[in-house]
Each structure stands twice: as structure tokens, then as C-alpha cells.
Amino acid sequence: MKAFLSLNGVRKEFAGSVAVEGFTLDVTEGEFVSFLGPSGCGKTTTLRMVAGFEVPTTGRITLAGEDITYAKPNQRNVGMVFQSYALFPNMTVAHNVAFGLRVRKEQAAARDERVAQLLELIHLPDKGDAYPHQLSGGQQQRVALARALAIRPKVLLLDEPLSALDAKIRDELRYEIRRIQQELNITTIYVTHDQEEALALSDRVVVMSRGRIEQVGPPFEVYNNPATAFVASFVGQLNRLSAVVTNSASGTVRVGDSEVRTTSPVDAPGGSEVFLMLRPEELTLDDQADNVLTGKVDTVTFLGSIVRVQVAVNGGRLTADLFNERLLRLPVAGESTLISFPAHACWVMSRESH
């Protein structure tokens, strides 16, 4: 597919320190892409370069075939939604939504129609005459979304739009954003440091760390086949056990006294110390899978739909997430247990890279 928005070798320095570097990404039309990464990794800076609030130190940005690297923010036709909503407090909801259309000198009739249409889209058709301070946070953010969409932007940019909201509203609005995005088929970049949000919403996730892209891919791919140690530990939870390589070619390592089989060759010589990484949900407290370890139950936490069990094993501690069911026998702290996992769930990492 042809790139609609593309960033090419983008780099941004602030007074000598590098905020973003080597950022190359092609986004296709109608795609929903999330930037995911820890605080300070350069997500906002990258988004702001697309919006035009920052100018790249080097590199190019093109949008719909046009080089916008140095274009002014008010000439890009880009919709922006901020964490703090940033509604104009002196204007009603309708005037907020109409702001961009007024600036564009659109005819009053067409403008009013567009505003009504957008208020309908965000399910606030009756709030046109309300002022921002009369709305809840969730409603304000909906209005901010409508305001950004009113100008029919080429791309919609959202910078942690939900982080100021309560958990419940956050979930609700998350799906609302996705629904609207798909309804309008608008190219969207969504910045977040919440992995659940990124995984739930996106067509593709861009995982960033220290100003660089670590991995780009669909959520399922990024979660299940992390490209780097950073991605593996940042996206989702990960257990880490000390292990020693016994056979590099066949991918076998030893944890404590037990041999553990993996599915791919290990990139380290035999006898070297490595880490064995495992996702909590791929562990079971039985001996049914390829690899079996013995351990002692440490803590059991009932979380509703899942039961989190910590097991001390030779070489470290494992957290296992079991699905709740009525007939489940809850493990008891202190008892010894078997813990098993399939060969394909294993991921071996050299110690230096961590």
C-alpha cells in the first residue's frame, strides 16, 4: 500500500540533546498507528513534528504527497487532540467545533450543518450551547475530537487524549475513538504510554525507546514476537529466569536442574549465562506442556477474571496468570507445585542486552 504520511530519517535535537533520531515510518491512508513508549522517549516530539509545532533537525515529512517538513502548523490541515482538551473556554461547544470552519471562512449554513453532524457523531447533539466548563472531562474530550475533525483534516493526531480521565470513561472513550476513526476512515496517530490502549486500538503499534523506533507491527505481532528485549519487557509482562545454554544449535538451556527446550537456536555459545523469558499467561500449574519445572507457591492473588500466582523456582520467580473458572482449585501459598510451559513460549536473551 502506498504511504500517505511518511517520516523519513527524522531527527530532532533540543539544545544539543537528541529527542528523536532515525525515525522512519510510512503510514497508509486510513490507518490507525500508535506510538507507544515510556516517558521521555520522544513520542510527543515526533507527533509535534507532524503537527508542525516542532521542526525536525534533519529528515523529511510528507503528507498526501506534499513535503510538509517546514510548513507552518496552520497550513497543514492536521487535526490535533491534546491531553488537556484545550477547548476555548470563552466559546460554546458549537463555537469550539466551528472554530476551524470560521477561520476557513466557510459559509454559515454549511458550517452549522457540519457542526450538527459532528455533535451527532460524538453523541452530544444537545450540548451545542453549553460551555466547556459545564461538561465532564470525557465530554470535553469528545468535543475536542469533534473540533479537530470538523476541518476534515488529512491526519488526526492524538497525544495521550485519555490519560486525564477516569478508568471507566477511558475505556468507553477508547472504543468511541476507534469507532469514529473507522467510520471516517481517517489516518490517525495516537500517542500513549499505556500498552493496553495501544494494543486495543491500533492497526499498527510503533514501540519507541530513547528517541528510536524499537519495533513496528500489528499489536498481535508486537506482543507475541517482540523484536528486542526492550519491546518484550515494555509490552506486556514478562518473567525472567537465569539459565545456562546447554546446546546453542537445538536451543536448549538449563534452569536449575531442569532442561528447557525452546524452538529456535540460541544466539550464545554453550555454557554461557542467559535469561529465559516467559509470558505469565503461557504458564500452567501442571505437567502438561513441553517443559516442566518444580517450585513452591509464594503468593496467590485473585484478580477476578485471572488468578495471579507467584511461584519460586530454581533460577528465580515466575508469575503465572491462570484464567478463573468456578471449578478452579486455588493454589495455596507454601505448597509445592509443578509449572509447565510450551517450547514455543520460551524466549532466550543474552545477559548483555538486558
Partner 1 sequence: MTISTAPVQADAEVLPVEPPAGGNRLFAWLVVAAGAVYFLLPLVTTGYWSLRAVKDTFGFEAYRRVFADPAFVRSFSESVVNAIAAIVLSLLIIVPTAYWVTLRLPRLRPVVEFITLLPFVIPAVVLVFGLIRMYGRPPLLLTRTYDSSRVLLVCAYAALSFPYMYRSVDNGLRAMDVRTLTEAAQSLGASWATILRRVIFPNLRVALLSGALLTFAIVIGELTVALFLAQQTFGPFMANLTRSKVYEPAAMALVAFAITWAALGLIAFLTRPRHKVTR
Ligand X SMILES: Nc1ncnc2c1ncn2[C@@H]1O[C@H](COP(=O)(O)OP(=O)(O)OP(=O)(O)O)[C@@H](O)[C@H]1O
Is the Cα dihedral 37, 38, 41, 42 positive or negative?
Answer: positive
* Contact call for residue 40 and ligand X (CB under 6 A): yes
Q: How many residues bind to Mg ion according to rule CB under 5 A?
A: 1
Task: Mark the segment that binds Mg ion (CB under 5 A) among 40-48, 63-71, 121-129, 235-243.
Answer: 40-48
* Contact call for residue 175 and partner 1 (CB under 8 A): no
85 backbone dihedrals φ, ψ, rounded to 5°:
65, -50
* Contact call for residue 30 and partner 1 (CB under 8 A): no
Distance of alpha carbon 125 from alpha carbon 131, whole angstroms: 14
Closer to partner 1 by CB, 108 or 330: give it: 108
Query: What residues from 161 to 220 belong to the interface with ligand X (CB under 6 A)?
Result: 193
Closer to partner 1 by CB, 72 or 326: give it: 72
Closer to Mg ion by CB, 122 or 148: give it: 148
Q: Give the shortest CB-200-to-ligand X separation in angstroms.
A: 18
The binder of partner 1 chosen from 19, 20, 68, 78 (CB under 8 A):
78
Distance of alpha carbon 166 from alpha carbon 86, whole angstroms: 18
Closer to partner 1 by CB, 39 or 75: give it: 75
Closer to partner 1 by CB, 134 or 263: give it: 134
Distance of alpha carbon 151 from alpha carbon 299, whole angstroms: 54
Q: Give the shortest CB-102-to-Mg ion separation in angstroms.
A: 29
* Contact call for residue 68 and partner 1 (CB under 8 A): no
Residue 304: how many other CB atoms lie within 10 Å: 6
The binder of ligand X chosen from 7, 10, 19, 173 (CB under 6 A):
19
Distance of alpha carbon 354 from alpha carbon 231, whole angstroms: 11
Of how many residues is the chain composed?
354
Q: Are 282 and 345 in contact (CB under 8 A)?
A: yes
How many Å from the N-terminal Cα to the C-terminal Cα in the chain?
A: 36
How many Cα atoms sit within 13 Å of 31 on the Cβ side? 20
* Contact call for residue 114 and partner 1 (CB under 8 A): no
Those residues with Cβ within 8 angstroms of residue 109's Cβ, 6 or more apart along the chain or in another chain: none
Q: Are 275 and 240 in contact (CB under 8 A)?
A: yes
* Contact call for residue 342 and partner 1 (CB under 8 A): no
* Contact call for residue 44 and Mg ion (CB under 5 A): yes
- List, in sequence order, every beta strand (DSSP E) within the chain: 3-14, 17-28, 32-36, 58-63, 66-67, 78-81, 155-159, 187-192, 204-209, 212-217, 239-247, 252-255, 258-261, 273-278, 291-302, 306-313, 316-323, 336-341, 347-350
Closer to partner 1 by CB, 131 or 246: give it: 131
* Contact call for residue 99 and partner 1 (CB under 8 A): yes
Closer to ligand X by CB, 160 or 276: give it: 160
* Contact call for residue 107 and partner 1 (CB under 8 A): no
The binder of ligand X chosen from 5, 42, 151, 181 (CB under 6 A):
42
Q: Give the shortest CB-159-to-partner 1 separation in angstroms.
A: 10
Those residues with Cβ within 8 angstroms of residue 310's Cβ, 6 or more apart along the chain or in another chain: 297, 298, 299, 300, 317, 318, 319, 320
* Contact call for residue 302 and partner 1 (CB under 8 A): no
Q: Are 197 and 162 in contact (CB under 8 A)?
A: yes
Q: Give the shortest CB-8-to-partner 1 separation in angstroms.
A: 22
Q: Using CB under 8 A, list all residues that contact partner 1.
A: 51-53, 72-80, 82, 84, 86-90, 99-100, 103-104, 133-134, 136-137, 144, 147-148, 151
Q: Using CB under 6 A, list all residues that contact ligand X.
A: 14, 19, 37, 39-45, 193
